[in-house]
Amino acid sequence: MISKTVLLPFLNVATRSLEDIGALALFSWKVFKTWLTTKGNFKPILEQVNEVTFRSLGTVIFSGIFVGAILVIQFYLMLSRYDAAVLLGGLNTSAIVREVGPLIISFLIAGKIGAFTAAELGTMRVTEQIDAIECLGTNPIQYLVLPRFAGIVFSSVLLLAIGLMVSILGAMGVATVLYGINPLQYASSMERFTGPWTIFSGAFKCVIYAFIVACVCCYRGYHASGGASGVGRAVTYAAVFTNFYIVIANYVSSHILEILHDWILLAGALIKRGML
């Protein structure tokens, strides 16, 4: 039988996690409500998208190349043992688009964009700039949080899409240079393993991960307290919890997409047989 002293720490962690998720949900709803009920947000959001995208574009491109390169090396080592290197392009591209690419690139975006946003909003909070904005009768959610929140979401989706394309091209280049695989041969199996559902799965996960980065980092920065050390804690919590929630979201979304895919296949089979 598990004693209370062993079980209590796990219960405390679970309780704090649920409280944190609830607070994030309420904060996100407040941001969306502000977005829907206020005007003049397009220009600030566009400026944030432009700033965030160009600030992180080099990092995403550089890391995307090596994500594809690492995967193609690992897949080739396995496939070559069974004389199945002809499937390298399809399997590698499917893994990049569906799972590995969005996950690794979102970690990098969270570390670069998310930490910067948390530090920026946290500094404004501890130096009472946000309080001053409220005293002037301006909504800080609309003026400070909404442009950064929406900017992170849109730019993260764009950066993830760019990173995935760069990863695929980088993998093709490594396969050609290291293993002498013709690019046309490499691309010949892509259609077999990377169909519309694979692309949809990757895009769906990109949106979920981008939303998590925006929500957690803006929330932690906006609610920072305790001076410079409080800003440091906000940045640390933003980086740690963003990656933590992304991993959980990856697990949950993978199961949801798998169940949804099975339902679609079943519905298609029933329609084809005239039973639906």
Residue of 189, 169, 167 lying closest to 101 (CA atoms): 167
Q: What are phi and psi of 223, to 5 degrees?
A: -105, 20
Residue 275 lies in a domain: no
Evaluate whether residue 62 is within a structural domain. yes
Residue-level pLDDT, tens digit, the chain, 276 residues: 455 565 666 677 667 777 888 888 999 999 999 988 888 888 999 999 898 888 888 888 888 888 888 888 888 888 888 888 888 888 888 888 888 778 887 888 888 888 889 999 999 999 988 888 888 888 899 988 999 999 988 888 888 888 888 888 888 998 888 888 888 888 888 888 888 888 888 888 888 998 999 999 999 999 988 888 889 999 998 888 898 899 899 999 989 988 888 888 888 777 877 766
H-only helix segments in the chain: 4-37, 42-79, 88-95, 101-109, 115-126, 129-135, 140, 146-179, 183-188, 190-193, 196-222, 227-272
* HSE-CB of 184 using CA atoms within 13 angstroms: 0
Supply the angle between the helices 4-37 and 146-179 in degrees, to the nearest 10: 110
What DSSP state is assigned to residue 223? T
Q: Give the 3-state DSSP-derived string for 7-75, with helices as H, strands as E and coil as C.
A: HHHHHHHHHHHHHHHHHHHHHHHHHHHHHHHCCCCHHHHHHHHHHHHHHHHHHHHHHHHHHHHHHHHHH
Q: For residues 134 and 217, what is the distance between their CA atoms, to the nearest angstrom?
A: 21
Q: Is residue 191 part of a domain?
A: yes
Distance CA 111, CA 63 (A): 13
- pLDDT recorded at residue 136: 84
Is the Cβ–Cβ distance between 24 and 221 less than 8 Å? no
In a domain, 10, yes or no: no
Dist CA 214 CA 172 (whole Å): 32
Q: Residue 227, CB half-sphere, CA atoms under 13 Å: how many?
A: 1
Residue 243 backbone phi and psi in degrees, to 5: -65, -35
Note whether residue 12 is domain-resident.
no
Give the structural domain span for 47. 40-251
Say how many domains are in the chain: 1
In a domain, 34, yes or no: no
pLDDT for the residue numbered 7: 65
Q: Are 95 and 71 in contact (CB under 8 A)?
A: yes
For residue 47, which of 147, 161, 145, 149 has the smallest C-alpha distance?
Answer: 147
